[in-house]
A and B are shown apart, each in its own frame.
Chain A
């Protein structure tokens, strides 16, 4: 039970009551929450929703990240990972190299391989089908969460076929789910400023819809803390919420704080803890139809991600093994966590750790 007088003083009593009555919040409600100077008041509201949905459970996954290539034609200004072909730091993994990475990790029990890369100028769809088949051959039990909606659209363009066909072919090869990346902020103003060559916001939502209609679930992300306004963050969330009403295909939302190092956004500063927690909490409150919310420790830092479990987040993501994208932009966290570190971190934050797969089904491997 929340203390109404606390919210009355903050002029948020109506929002507080809406949340208790499970009523949907408007964009204006979201703006008021962002504007609220009392971080804990917003956090407590988000925590109540989180507790209602997930009790005191906190999920984590045993996974491995693979980036098949960093060669990318998009040139997004917020990115420190993408390289042009010929750049000394550009890389592209062969089928054998991908297989090698999977084989090297065989001694660890993982349930998920997370695979994304740059939008490569000429890798054919057959390469990706082969990579996915190879992963399944080496690790038949693993679930593959691969290729963002942006990559799917890119493959379709290169191949000269529809995104529906790309999705169907990749699913047959072994892709189980799509990761949520490439969403950034849907606002056309922001995309024009930061990533004009990339798939548009509307395009992202359309391909996600197609995936969901084909029975392929996906996650959704939001990159915040660069040039966007609070209103643009909220519009982004509302666009996802509307699509979810239609398809119910999103599993988890992941707010990602922008990491400025080695990127091309002038004068950008890293996000602060208060901003990160506020955004997490507002996400939980606005996205009433997306079941899970991730505190991605790679970008938030492990310490803040623990706190975020009290601000609406129910997922702590995973062991990861070799994170590159956030780290090339200056993320200061470790590049991997072990199972016991994950469980301890979650327990000491006051929650019960539950190992899950990409669909958030409970897993017991031991």
Chain B
């Protein structure tokens, strides 16, 4: 296995069999060590970045009904909502006053709202607030395209014109259709997810990519997911970052015990080793908690994610860690790195910091 890693250093990539062997059999500390070496080599070594943002859910009304989700509400449910422009505006003002540089805005698959609703929402925000809009996800884009009967590429172009700046990598779950058909049968396929991102990248838009693991997939499926992302990144170079996290089961329709921290750290490490064309790998304190997310900074992660001024989706599954900017900076420092605030595109907010 040392030879595989040595090969990586001279630019020879890991293939699927090698990655699987490393993932399955690689000694825990060695795996982490190799991932950490790659991270130090690739990224501005001393820094761990974070973004100050807010996750706004414009609506929780959804016809997708994914089995792993505790957030959605069916149409006509008493707790279903759609945010008004006023509510949206208040949240954004608060975000700006707290030093936020972006909003991450997602919702459910609403059965009735036309594309124009979203275009108006974007224009409303852009006309009033100097904030980066990182919004929707490939499943939402595909949903809009089906409602409007136009291509995903066309949907992206329209949303972009209305003010969309970038697209978060959500809804990826596991990019293997046999898994998707079991956990999220009404959601877009793996191919459709990848296609949306390819279209977005071709139109000059940056996006992230995610993985939610630890539900009904086989560990090999996780690797297949990574290689699918690597291939697309080879073609477009449009992904800024990869964020894996473990499924949280409370209040969902999938009853299994959570992935352990050890499993999460192994997955993070192999992600860093496989995704040799991704600059940034984010630790997930929201799902794993601050202690484990900090340790992840030695297992291949170079970014600590977001301050999450607001977060609803994971909280619905019964996991609600909260961290202030000061706490995040302290965690990064005590891990031995310099904390630095960034934008969505991984530029430093303060060039002199």
Q: Which residues of A contact B (CB under 8 A)?
A: 3, 6, 37-41, 43-44, 47, 269, 272-277, 300-301, 303-304, 306-307, 310, 344-345, 348-350
Given A273-B293, A304-B291, 4 other A-B residues pairs in contact with their CB atoms under 8 A: A40-B298, A47-B28, A272-B331, A307-B262
Binds A, one of B29-37, B130-138, B173-181: B29-37
- Given A44-B29, A44-B33: A306 in contact with B261 (beta carbons within 8 A): yes
Counting contact residues on chain B (CB < 8 A from A), the size range is 20 to 34
Q: Is the CB of B29 within 8 A of A310?
A: yes
How far is the CB of B91 from the nearest CB of chain A, in Å? 27
* Contact residues, B11-30 vs A (CB, 8 A): 28-30
Tell me, yes or no, whether B257 is within 8 Å of chain A by CB: yes
How far is the CB of B244 from the nearest CB of chain A, in Å? 15
How far is the CB of B95 from the nearest CB of chain A, in Å? 26
Considering the chains assembled together, what is the distance between the CA atoms of A350 and B331 in angstroms? Answer: 27
Tell me, yes or no, whether B334 is within 8 Å of chain A by CB: yes
Q: Is the CB of A40 within 8 A of B260?
A: no
Give the residue of B29, B36, B261, B294 whose beta carbon is less than 8 angstroms from that of A272.
Answer: B294
Residue among A3, A37, A40, A350 with max Cβ neighbours from chain B (10 Å): A40
Chain A residues whose C-beta falls within 8 Å of the C-beta of B262 in the assembled complex: 306-307, 310, 348-350
Give the residue of A3, A37, A304 whose beta carbon is less than 8 angstroms from that of B261.
Answer: A304
How far is the CB of B80 from the nearest CB of chain A, in Å? 32
Chain A residues whose C-beta falls within 8 Å of the C-beta of B330 in the assembled complex: 269, 272
How far is the CB of B331 from the nearest CB of chain A, in Å? 6
**Which B residue sits closest to A36, measured CB to CB?**
B336
* Contact residues, B258-296 vs A (CB, 8 A): 259-263, 265, 288-295
Residue among A43, A277, A303, A344 with max Cβ neighbours from chain B (10 Å): A303
- Given A272-B331, A272-B334, A349-B262: A41 in contact with B33 (beta carbons within 8 A): yes
Chain B residues whose C-beta falls within 8 Å of the C-beta of A44 in the assembled complex: 29-30, 33
Chain A residues whose C-beta falls within 8 Å of the C-beta of B297 in the assembled complex: 274
How far is the CB of A54 from the nearest CB of chain B, in Å? 16
Q: Is the CB of A272 within 8 A of B33?
A: no
**Which A residue sits closest to B269, measured CB to CB?**
A40
Chain A residues whose C-beta falls within 8 Å of the C-beta of B289 in the assembled complex: 301, 303-304
Can you report 18 A-B residue pairs in the complex whose CB atoms are below 8 A from each other? A3-B2, A38-B298, A39-B298, A272-B290, A273-B294, A274-B334, A276-B291, A303-B260, A303-B261, A303-B289, A304-B289, A304-B292, A307-B261, A310-B29, A345-B260, A348-B260, A349-B260, A349-B261
Tell me, yes or no, whether B253 is within 8 Å of chain A by CB: no
How far is the CB of A207 from the nearest CB of chain B, in Å? 34
Tell me, yes or no, whether B335 is within 8 Å of chain A by CB: yes
Chain B residues whose C-beta falls within 8 Å of the C-beta of A349 in the assembled complex: 260-262
Residue among A41, A307, A348 with max Cβ neighbours from chain B (10 Å): A307
Q: Which residues of B contact A (CB under 8 A)?
A: 2, 28-30, 32-33, 36, 257, 259-263, 265, 288-295, 297-299, 330-331, 334-336
Q: Is the CB of B28 within 8 A of A310?
A: yes
Chain B residues whose C-beta falls within 8 Å of the C-beta of A43 in the assembled complex: 29
Considering the chains assembled together, what is the distance between the CA atoms of A276 and B289 in angstroms? Answer: 14
- Given A37-B336, A277-B295: A307 in contact with B265 (beta carbons within 8 A): yes
Considering the chains assembled together, what is the distance between the CA atoms of A306 and B292 in angstroms? Answer: 10
- Given A306-B260, A345-B260: A6 in contact with B33 (beta carbons within 8 A): yes
How far is the CB of A342 from the nearest CB of chain B, in Å? 12
**Which A residue sits closest to B32, measured CB to CB?**
A40
For the residues of A in contact with B, the DSSP-based class is: helix
Q: Is the CB of A47 within 8 A of B260?
A: no
- Given A272-B334, A307-B265: A39 in contact with B295 (beta carbons within 8 A): yes
Q: Is the CB of B292 within 8 A of A40?
A: no
Considering the chains assembled together, what is the distance between the CA atoms of A85 and B265 in angstroms? Answer: 47
Considering the chains assembled together, what is the distance between the CA atoms of A253 and B338 in angstroms? Answer: 33
**Which A residue sits closest to B35, measured CB to CB?**
A40
Chain B residues whose C-beta falls within 8 Å of the C-beta of A348 in the assembled complex: 259-260, 262-263
Chain A residues whose C-beta falls within 8 Å of the C-beta of B29 in the assembled complex: 40, 43-44, 47, 310
Residue among B28, B259, B297, B331 with max Cβ neighbours from chain A (10 Å): B28
Q: Is the CB of B2 within 8 A of A307?
A: no
Considering the chains assembled together, what is the distance between the CA atoms of A306 and B263 in angstroms? Answer: 10
Considering the chains assembled together, what is the distance between the CA atoms of A303 and B2 in angstroms? Answer: 29
Considering the chains assembled together, what is the distance between the CA atoms of A41 and B36 in angstroms? Answer: 11
Give the residue of A41, A301, A310, A344 whose beta carbon is less than 8 angstroms from that of B291.
Answer: A301
Chain A residues whose C-beta falls within 8 Å of the C-beta of B2 in the assembled complex: 3
Considering the chains assembled together, what is the distance between the CA atoms of A300 and B294 in angstroms? Answer: 13
Chain B residues whose C-beta falls within 8 Å of the C-beta of A274 in the assembled complex: 294-295, 297-298, 334-336
Chain A residues whose C-beta falls within 8 Å of the C-beta of B260 in the assembled complex: 303, 306, 345, 348-349
Q: Is the CB of A307 within 8 A of B331?
A: no
Q: Is the CB of A273 within 8 A of B263?
A: no
Considering the chains assembled together, what is the distance between the CA atoms of A88 and B327 in angstroms? Answer: 33
Considering the chains assembled together, what is the distance between the CA atoms of A349 and B297 in angstroms? Answer: 19
Q: Is the CB of B257 within 8 A of A273?
A: no
Chain A residues whose C-beta falls within 8 Å of the C-beta of B265 in the assembled complex: 307
Considering the chains assembled together, what is the distance between the CA atoms of A113 and B291 in angstroms? Answer: 30
**Which A residue sits closest to B333, measured CB to CB?**
A272
Considering the chains assembled together, what is the distance between the CA atoms of A307 and B32 in angstroms? Answer: 12
How far is the CB of B39 from the nearest CB of chain A, in Å? 12
Chain B residues whose C-beta falls within 8 Å of the C-beta of A6 in the assembled complex: 33
Give the residue of B257, B292, B334 whose beta carbon is less than 8 angstroms from that of A307.
Answer: B292
How far is the CB of A244 from the nearest CB of chain B, in Å? 27
Considering the chains assembled together, what is the distance between the CA atoms of A72 and B32 in angstroms? Answer: 45
Chain A residues whose C-beta falls within 8 Å of the C-beta of B288 in the assembled complex: 303
**Which B residue sits closest to A275, measured CB to CB?**
B334
Chain B residues whose C-beta falls within 8 Å of the C-beta of A277 in the assembled complex: 295
Considering the chains assembled together, what is the distance between the CA atoms of A132 and B36 in angstroms? Answer: 52
How far is the CB of A265 from the nearest CB of chain B, in Å? 16
**Which A residue sits closest to B31, measured CB to CB?**
A40
**Which A residue sits closest to B337, measured CB to CB?**
A37
Considering the chains assembled together, what is the distance between the CA atoms of A43 and B331 in angstroms? Answer: 19
Considering the chains assembled together, what is the distance between the CA atoms of A6 and B335 in angstroms? Answer: 19
**Which A residue sits closest to B246, measured CB to CB?**
A303
Chain B residues whose C-beta falls within 8 Å of the C-beta of A41 in the assembled complex: 33
Chain B residues whose C-beta falls within 8 Å of the C-beta of A350 in the assembled complex: 28, 262
